[in-house]
Amino acid sequence: MISGTASAKKTGTELVNSIIRDNQGTQGTSGVYIWDADSLWLCGNTIYGNNDDGIDGLTGAINSTFENNYIYDNKGDGLKLGQFGSNGSAGNEAKNNMIKNNIFYNNSNGLTITGFNNKIYYNTLVRGNTRSNTFVLSGKDNIIKNNLIGTSVMLANDLANQTHNPASFQLGYNLFYPTGNSITYGESLSAAKLIYGTMGDLCFNESLGCNSVDDALGLVNSANGDFRLAATSPAIGKADGTVGINRDYAGTTRPQGSSYDIGAYEYVSGQVLGVKIQKVDELTKKPVGTLFLALILALSALALTWLWGLKFLLGDKK
């Protein structure tokens, strides 16, 4: 837990290159819980298998950066910032944050943001098999560019007592995988909403989501934890390079080739396929098979025999 208060925010915390997993309390057990933080830096973490959100920033973060994190298989949202129904007057707003180069896979919602002036660039949000939305956003003046978005998006204005308009979003240059009527757009979460099938439809009707690509994601093998772009991915060359982010999730320089690619990975020409890019749980939670167990027992027996031999040898020398 990273905890301040609305009037005295926790400032300058860094959480870097950590594995945060399997927090399995009976309810509300998230990997990271943020409570009124300012200038927080979360970078390079792997966060999975938690009973609620990967990162729960419901109570607010400002001026913070969330980058190059891999957040997957959490029962709640991947990253949640700000609180639906709040206008931020209690200090619990998500404001002026940067969310870039993260991978969200098989969480409930991938990324949910309620707030102001947040920048959401170059993230990969992929749905798993059983969960719902990948992306929910509400608030004002947020910029959402160069993200690779699987299956569904909700855009709404849910901030009470303020004259926010979802059209104040800058939404563009994303790759969206259409799977039916899976874009929800509305003035508030409680009001009637409009439903669209593609970013093209959203652009035509709302002048939002333009310069995007509606197509399959074109990843190497997301089910096996490899979220790199395949050589034929429609995400290649379609990002807006002017947002000023010059490294990708893997630390590769952007752009490769002449143009910038959508999603957490820049495509690298000649990338080696079949290289095992594993989920962490395959490394740390691998069950001990019977054959492996037998090998351990055999080696243990051998070691014991050798120790007995050594003891006799030493005994002889006395």
Q: Which of 105, 142, 135 is nearest to 120 (CA)?
A: 142
Closest to Ca ion by CB, 200 or 255: 255
Question: What distance in Å separates the CA atoms of residue 203 and residue 199, rounded to the nearest whole number?
Answer: 6
Based on CB atoms, which residue is closest to Ca ion, 91 or 255? 255
Task: Evaluate whether 88 touches 58 at the Cβ level (below 8 Å).
Answer: no
**Residue 257 contacts Ca ion per CB under 5 A:** yes
Question: Could you identify the residue written with the tokens 């200038």?
Answer: 39
Nearest approach, Cβ of 246 to Ca ion (angstroms)?
12
The answer to whether 151 and 111 have CB atoms below 8 angstroms apart is no
What's the closest the beta carbon of residue 263 comes to Ca ion, in angstroms?
11
Contacts to Ca ion from residues 64-93, by CB under 5 A: none
Q: Per CB under 5 A, which region of 53-61, 118-126, 206-214, 256-264 contacts Ca ion?
A: 256-264
Closest CB to Ca ion among residues 202, 262: 262
Please identify, among the stretches 7-15, 33-41, 251-259, 272-280, the one whose residues bind Ca ion according to the rule CB under 5 A: 251-259
Taking the complex as a whole, the smallest distance from the CB of residue 269 to Ca ion amounts, in Å, to 9
Give the nearest distance from C-beta 247 to Ca ion in angstroms: 13
Contact predicate 87/111, CB 8 Å: no
Q: Which residues contact 227 (CB under 8 A, 6 or more apart)?
A: 103, 105, 124, 126, 219, 220, 249, 263, 264, 265, 277
Q: Which is nearer to Ca ion, 123 or 151 (CB)?
A: 123
Taking CB under 5 A as the binding criterion, the range among 63-71, 114-122, 253-261, 305-313 that sits at the site for Ca ion is 253-261
Pick from 120, 123, 161, 157: which is nearest to 140 by CA?
157
| Among 91, 197, 241, 255, contact with Ca ion (rule: CB under 5 A) | 255
The residue from 188, 252, 256, 271 that contacts Ca ion (CB under 5 A) is 256
Assess 241 for contact with Ca ion (CB under 5 A). Answer: no
Q: Site for Ca ion (CB under 5 A): which residue of 36, 38, 52, 261?
A: 261
- Cα distances (angstroms) measured from residue 201 to each of 88, 194, 214: 32, 11, 10
Closest CA relative to residue 92, chosen from 139, 134, 132, 129:
139
Does position 44 bind Ca ion by CB under 5 A? Answer: no
Distances (CA, A) of 317 to 291, 305, 310, 313: 39, 19, 11, 7
Q: How far is it, in rounded angstroms, from Cα 86 to Cα 103?
A: 27
* Residue 250 found at the interface with Ca ion (CB under 5 A): no
Nearest distance, CB of residue 67 and Ca ion, angstroms: 19
Distance CA 283, CA 272 (A): 21
Query: Segment contacting Ca ion (CB under 5 A): 46-54, 144-152, 216-224, 247-255?
Result: 247-255
Contact positions toward Ca ion, by CB under 5 A? Answer: 255-257, 261
